[in-house]
Amino acid sequence: MRRGLNNFFRCLKKDGEARLGEVKTAHGSFRTPVFMPVGTQGTVKAMPPDDLEALGTQIILCNTYHLYLRPGTEVMEKVGGLHRFMHWPLPILTDSGGYQVFSLNALREITPEGVRFVSHLDGSLHFLTPQEVIRIQETLGSDIMMPLDECIGYPSTRGYTLSSMALTTKWAKESLDARSRLDRALFGIVQGGMYGDLRKEHAKELSQYPFDGFSIGGLSVGEPKGLMWEMLEATVPYLPEDRPRYMMGVGKPEDILEGIERGVDMFDCVIPTRNARNGMLYTSQGPVIIKNARYASDDGPLDPECTCYTCRNFSRAYLRHLFMSHEILSAYLNTLHNLHFYLSLTREARHAIDEGNFVVYKKQLIEKWNKGS
């Protein structure tokens, strides 16, 4: 029955629950824990792909929902897939579009066969089935695909959570059947809302199927942070050791570290890129709000400990000036820096795990951030 990929994931080392691993895809390998910059519309906002690669980005995430609506699968077929389209030679993970259907659309309807929704771009009506979502991702040429799932809100009743979970399971199984490219990975998405026993139940259930990895979905949807970690802890122990675990849409730098400590291998989040464009920059001394007047004539680098292009060549005064002047270069320099921060964070986390030193690494880093800010 198993049709998943051979040798897709290898755990190289464990340090507590934290894992150093390697994932092999059709576009090369990447090391975990990994942070995946988000390229919603087929571009990590403001970043030329060569810069992204030079930063050490190993894999990016793109949004099936957005690319399905624009430029559409017909164009995507004609131009030979997403890698070629956006000139990105390394792995791409695509989400299923489920999250966007549920979060961007007031008008949507769920049936056992799929979801009906109205495009946020032009009001056109669409119906997506689990099968169609796989077909779209295969057309994109995604290396790691997600099945259509329902990402429920917080709070949700136990009853709704249970029936939604059953639907997500049904769609996940249909997605496995729908897959036609056997060189591309497909993950299962664990839901279960904020009910620890349902999380456990869903993790165990999905683990019976030949998914290449497991996503932990439905977290960071408005619940208290403590509850999120509780749910993660209720999930991870019931996922197979030999597959990667991906915590969807998380999070802040400290969240990445908390997730790694609890055995998560893959992360994606718009925070570094979106905050960059809003002028919130992560540094070794804690976050910097660059529009703050105190930086107006601050000739020093954004982060004296950082080695990125932005910090090596530009002052806080200049970054503030660009931000205040609404200059495009502001988005570029800020995004470059924040991604460098996230990618360094996970690179050093891998190193710490390899050294059996992750807990100390995490503690020292968070203390430093809190002290500086």
Residues that bind its own copies (CB under 8 A): 41-43, 45-50, 70-71, 74-75, 78-80, 85-87, 296-297, 299, 309, 313-315, 317-318, 320-322, 324-325, 327-329, 331-333
Residue 50 annotated to the active site: no
Q: How many angstroms separate the CA atoms of 62 and 185, rounded?
A: 15
What are the helix and strand counts (H, E) for the chain? 15, 16
- Find how far residue 282's CA is from the centre of its chain: 18
Q: Which is nearer to its own copies, 149 or 303 (CB)?
A: 303
- The C-alpha atoms of residue 191 and residue 148 are separated, in whole angstroms, by 12
Residue 322 in tokens: 């660009």
Contacts of 203 (CB under 8 A, 6+ apart): 190, 192, 214, 235, 236, 238, 239
Q: Between residues 141 and 259, which has the closer beta carbon with respect to its own copies?
A: 141
Catalytic residue among 95, 255, 265, 303: 95
CB of 340 to its own copies, least distance (A): 14
For strands 266-268 and 245-247, give the pairing.
parallel
Positive/negative CA dihedral, 175, 176, 180, 182: positive
255 is catalytic: no
Closest distance to its own copies from the beta carbon of 298 (Å) = 8
Nearer to its own copies, 70 or 225 (CB): 70
- Kindly state the tokens that stand for 51: 């810069």
List all residues 6 or more positions away from 188 whose beta carbon is below 8 Å from its beta carbon: 147, 172, 206, 207, 209, 211, 213, 214, 215
73-110 exposure pattern, b = at least 16 Cβ within 10 A, e = fewer: beebeeeeebbebbebebbbbbbbbbbbbbebbeeeee
Give bridge partners of residue 13 from the DSSP assignment.
Answer: 20
Q: In terms of CB distance, is 43 or 131 closer to its own copies?
A: 43
Among 149, 255, 265, 268, the one annotated catalytic: 268
- Among left, alpha and beta (phi > 0; psi -120 to 50; other), residue 56 is left
Of 305 and 327, nearer to its own copies (C-beta) is 327
- Give the 3-state secondary structure of residue 259: helix
Report, in Å, the least distance between residue 305 CB and its own copies.
19
What span, in angstroms and rounded, lies between the C-alpha atoms of 32 and 35? 8
Q: Which is nearer to its own copies, 316 or 362 (CB)?
A: 316
Q: Which residue from 42, 70, 41, 44 is spatially nearest to 55, judged by alpha carbons?
A: 44
Min dist CB 307 to its own copies, Å, is 15
For tokens 């056997």, the residue is 182
Please say which residue, 3 or 87, places its beta carbon nearer to its own copies: 87
Q: How far is the CB of 39 from its own copies (least distance, A)?
A: 10
> Phi and psi at residue 184, in whole multiples of 5°?
-115, 140
Q: Would you please indicate which residues are annotated as catalytic (active-site) residues?
A: 95, 268
